[in-house]
Amino acid sequence: MATYTQTEAYFKKIASASNRVSLVDMGLTEEGRTQYMLVVSSPGNLKKINRYKEIAQKLARAESLTDQQANELVAEGKAVVWIDGGLHATETVGTHQLIETLWQLVSRNDPETLRILDEVIVLLVHANPDGQELVSNWYMSNPDTLKRSYSQLPGLYQKYVGHDNNRDFYMMNMKETQNISNQLYHEWMPQVIYNHHQAGPAGSVVAGPPYRDPFNYLFNPLVITGIDALGASMINRLIAEGKPGYTERGGSAFSTWYNGGLRTTAYFHNMIGLLTEIIGNPTPSSVPFVPARLLPSGNTPYPVMPQKWNFKKSIDYSISLNYAVLDYAARNREHLLYNIYFMGKSSINAGNQDSWTISSKRIDAINNISKLDQRRSRGSDTVGVSSRERSDTIQLKYFKVLFKDSTLRDPRGYILPSNQPDFPTAVKFVNSMIQSGIRVSKATTSFSVDGKICEAGSFIVKTNQAFRPFVLDMFEPQDHPNDFLYPGGPPVKPYDIAGWTPAFSMGIEFKRVLHDFKGPFEVLPYGQIQSPQGKFDGSASGSGYVLDSRCDQSFVAVNELLQSSLAVYRFTNETGSGVRAGEGSFYIPAGNKAKIILERASRELGLSVGSVTKRPSHLSARLAPLRIALWDTYGGSISSGWMRWILEKHQFQFKTIYAQEINEGNLQKKYDVILFVSGAIPSLSDPEQRPSRDTTKITDIPKEFRYQWGKITADTSIVSLKKFIEAGGTVATIGKSTNLAYHLKLGVTNSLVEMNKGKEIPLSSDKFFIPGSLLRLRIDSTLSAAWGMGAYADVFFDSSPVFSLTPDAVSKGLIKPIAWYDSVQPLRSGWAFGQEYLFNGVAAFEAKVGKGKLSAFGPEITFRGQTYGTFKLLFNDFYSGY
Ligand SMILES: [Zn+2]
């Protein structure tokens, strides 16, 4: 296996030797390597490369072009096809097919290759340099060539987030995501994006396009039919070359629903995104015998027989698939270029007029209205007859409910007011959109819409732009259909999450405008990153400064102040001080050093720093930063990696802690807070978390990593954690790690249960099923644990734990609920079947245990570094003094 160091040298060598290649530096990775893209085309095309890029951009944005002008650009332009490799570094076919594809494109002179080079600009992109370096070095380090493996890697193959590097594409947290999106949505706007992965389902060689439903109702249909066309060309070529084993649609789990993957974010930009998942390792493997896969079907027209499989076969398949895509692009250059223009133009038109988007809830609603009317008119005798037994056709008069109800129109645009409490987070949201190629405007003066005044500096995102589906997806709920294997059967798990709406999970304020609107709006240049304008109230002849607890970035400034040994307090009675800020806001006594830090914070973090003339009467004790430990495990937990990134970004100092150190005990000497993300604390029923098949022992891994080995166990680790809390420590648990509450026998039970033959059993998935979705929570923001939060928050729920308090726990007052579900319909975005079971369930609580406490957050309050709206729930645990 080639390392990245070797691959980079090879890229440079080819680029210097071939007149078909131009090497592009895309930017640095999180570990500081250079990420490269190779632009491959005919020497003639490369001479006019900037012109072709300009044409690709103009057609994709479709702005102020007539059809005539578009057709002229189509005639002149070249198809642009993106092929990447190595995003998931242990999927080693990815990088190695990229290296081989480069070689074939620069060295072959057959008519097909020459035609491709003439008609297509090929972008060969290395998706994850850091990962390749780690994985290849690890694999090659074993001198026994037959025992080489890339299992038991010592760390994540992306510095912070490993496999989740393919879940970051609407949020843009990671540098590699930013580099890639810059090429996709600012520089090149390829019509086709091919993202290589592995592995396909057992008994296949490769899973590829087209994909199973549900597809996202925001897409232009040409995206879906474009996937069909490319998919047909890929499978055709394999079959014609005698390469069996391609499976499509229902043959694999991949759908097009989710935004946020490298391939799928492309759909929301009118680009045809392709993903393949192929088998194969440098260590020879085999195609197993799966009888059900041997029957040819629409999913798998040409099944593969069980056989030995070596790496070369996977590379050959990948080259065939790449050539199928490139050949299609060469032969259909005009169609691809025209279609992306057509999709962009359709988006602009839809955003310039009243438009309605149909999702499954609207269809259900209209069927229900019609059913109700029928029952009324026919009397009670039809009650109980299911709709399935009748015709699906209903009277045309109901059609107007779908397409004439003006309150159900798609917004023409969104306004993000600049006077919202956490404006810097709103700007972070705006920047994610800007990085994704969205056109954003800014108000130069105040203006009013629908009778509401918006201040200067507010941002405006209109929907009359080519990438309209992306805009709608960032602001609107995802309405995932009820997807069951058969009526009354078990739910079909979504390929990733079901609902994500960043505008909800980031807790920002925005206004939907359903009609055309104008104002003093300055259109920002594409790609121009925005910084919030902070305010510094330096008039403080008074006693001190105030930082608003509602603002996420306030915690960054507070951490800086504390690290400079300055005094910081929290308001314990906000109303008594006449300050307009959230509960538990921060008070900093006036002083020169504080002034310098806060002035800089207002400038660099966009914070509004207020001031008070008198020292407030209700203050906490002086805050002390706590000694924070973050759990992780050998190989790296992705959730812990995200947390590491969040803590670093907010300038919390912390140490990573592993099971062995926890087992050694005496934790209170070193730490004040220990933090467990999902996946750390085992359940009561599986207290040892026994690994299923892996037989790796601690002696099998290199000495320098052995201190990281081991898992949290009930008999040792949890005993040690109990002592830590009883001695005054705080343990904060998120998601499944709230299991700790059960181990400690606190007064809580699982609320998602029902009685069956006199016994409590957990609800089955055909009654209650909520895969990754956003739900609305009621929050007690008078508790210090929830300072800075509003009365409600949208929280990320991922089959998350929900609790009931025992009567004993309530009466003794040992457990305080921080947040709970106060509605029978808490769903905000995604899919929540049986959501009424959540009603009155406790989502988060804190419990006194000895001198310390346990904080338990059922929902994923820091999910993938995206849920800015709920980070504060955790941060409040990181200071002492209240
Ligand atoms: Zn993958």
Q: What is the pLDDT of residues 570-613, one digit of tens each?
A: 999 765 566 778 999 999 999 999 999 999 999 999 999 999 88
How many degrees, rounded to 5, is the angle at CA 442 between CA 441 and CA 445?
A: 140
Q: Where are the beta strands (DSSP E) in 221-322?
A: 246-249, 272-278, 285-287, 307-309
pLDDT at 377: 84
Distance 258 CA to ligand 1 centre (A): 15
pLDDT digits (tens, 9 = 90+) for 494-518: 999 999 999 999 999 999 999 999 9
DSSP code at position 187: I
pLDDT digits (tens, 9 = 90+) for 676-707: 999 999 998 876 665 556 778 899 899 999 99
Distance 360 CA to ligand 1 centre (A): 30
Distance 495 CA to ligand 1 centre (A): 13
Distance 689 CA to ligand 1 centre (A): 25
DSSP code at position 747: S
Task: Give Dmax over CA atoms of the chain in angstroms.
Answer: 83
pLDDT at 696: 83
Distance 196 CA to ligand 1 centre (A): 7
Distance 795 CA to ligand 1 centre (A): 27
pLDDT at 574: 64
pLDDT digits (tens, 9 = 90+) for 208-267: 999 999 999 999 999 999 999 999 999 999 999 999 999 999 999 999 999 999 999 999
> pTM surpassing 0.85?
yes
Q: Is the per-residue pLDDT at 539 higher than 70?
A: no
Distance 85 CA to ligand 1 centre (A): 10
Residues listed for the chain? 882
Provide the pLDDT confidence category of residue 773 given band limits of 50, 70 and 90: very high
- Taking the C-alpha atoms of residue 625 and residue 508, their distance in angstroms, rounded to an integer, is 28
The mean of the pLDDT values for the chain is: 95
pLDDT at 308: 97
Distance 257 CA to ligand 1 centre (A): 17
Sequence-separated (6 or more) residues with CB below 8 Å from residue 19: 43, 46
C-alpha neighbours within 13 Å on the C-beta side of residue 57: 15
Of 244-258, 478-492, 533-547, 846-860, which gets the smallest average pLDDT?
Answer: 533-547
pLDDT digits (tens, 9 = 90+) for 799-831: 999 999 998 888 888 899 999 999 999 999 999
pLDDT at 581: 87
Distance 88 CA to ligand 1 centre (A): 5
- Taking the C-alpha atoms of residue 184 and residue 436, their distance in angstroms, rounded to an integer, is 8
Task: Report the SS3 class of residue 492.
Answer: coil
Torsion of CA 431, 435, 437, 439, to 10 degrees: 20
pLDDT at 624: 92
DSSP code at position 184: I
Across residues 380-398, what is the average pLDDT? 66
Distance 275 CA to ligand 1 centre (A): 9
DSSP code at position 103: H
Distance 200 CA to ligand 1 centre (A): 10
Residue 369's identity, in one-letter code, is I
Distance 91 CA to ligand 1 centre (A): 6
Q: Is the per-residue pLDDT at 382 higher than 60?
A: no
Distance 262 CA to ligand 1 centre (A): 11
DSSP code at position 540: -
Distance 649 CA to ligand 1 centre (A): 27
Residue 756's identity, in one-letter code, is N
Pairing mode, if any, of strands 120-126 and 79-85? parallel
Supply the Cα-derived Rg of the chain in whole angstroms.
28
- Taking the C-alpha atoms of residue 607 and residue 395, their distance in angstroms, rounded to an integer, is 56
pLDDT at 631: 98
Measuring CA to CA, which residue among 696, 694, 724, 727 is closest to residue 709?
Answer: 696
Distance 854 CA to ligand 1 centre (A): 36
Q: Is the per-residue pLDDT at 412 higher than 70?
A: yes
208: Cα separation from own chain's centroid: 22
Distance 430 CA to ligand 1 centre (A): 28
Distance 165 CA to ligand 1 centre (A): 10
Distance 602 CA to ligand 1 centre (A): 41
pLDDT digits (tens, 9 = 90+) for 729-766: 999 999 999 999 999 999 999 999 999 999 999 999 99
DSSP code at position 615: -
Distance 197 CA to ligand 1 centre (A): 4
Secondary structure of 496-519 in HEC code, one letter for each residue: CCCCCCHHHHCCCCCEEECCCCCC
Distance 135 CA to ligand 1 centre (A): 14
Distance 648 CA to ligand 1 centre (A): 27
Task: Report the SS3 class of residue 751.
Answer: coil
What is the token pair recorded at 190? 């390829």
Sequence-separated (6 or more) residues with CB below 8 Å from residue 405: none
Distance 130 CA to ligand 1 centre (A): 15
- Taking the C-alpha atoms of residue 861 and residue 797, their distance in angstroms, rounded to an integer, is 9
pLDDT > 90: percent of the chain: 88
Distance 791 CA to ligand 1 centre (A): 39
Distance 314 CA to ligand 1 centre (A): 15
Q: Is the per-residue pLDDT at 383 higher than 60?
A: no
pLDDT at 575: 59
How many degrees, rounded to 5, is the angle at CA 282 between CA 278 and CA 283?
A: 110
Distance 208 CA to ligand 1 centre (A): 13
pLDDT at 404: 82
Task: Report the SS3 class of residue 705.
Answer: helix
Distance 879 CA to ligand 1 centre (A): 39
Task: Report the SS3 class of residue 99.
Answer: helix
Provide the pLDDT confidence category of residue 150 given band limits of 50, 70 and 90: confident
Who has greater pLDDT, 378 or 432? 432
What is the token pair recorded at 651? 């300038």
Distance 177 CA to ligand 1 centre (A): 15
pLDDT digits (tens, 9 = 90+) for 49-98: 999 999 999 999 999 999 999 999 999 999 999 999 999 999 999 999 99
pLDDT at 379: 66
DSSP code at position 183: I
Distance 112 CA to ligand 1 centre (A): 30
Beta bridge partners of residue 773, listed in sequence order? 797
Distance 675 CA to ligand 1 centre (A): 29
Task: Report the SS3 class of residue 621.
Answer: coil
Distance 278 CA to ligand 1 centre (A): 10
Distance 195 CA to ligand 1 centre (A): 9
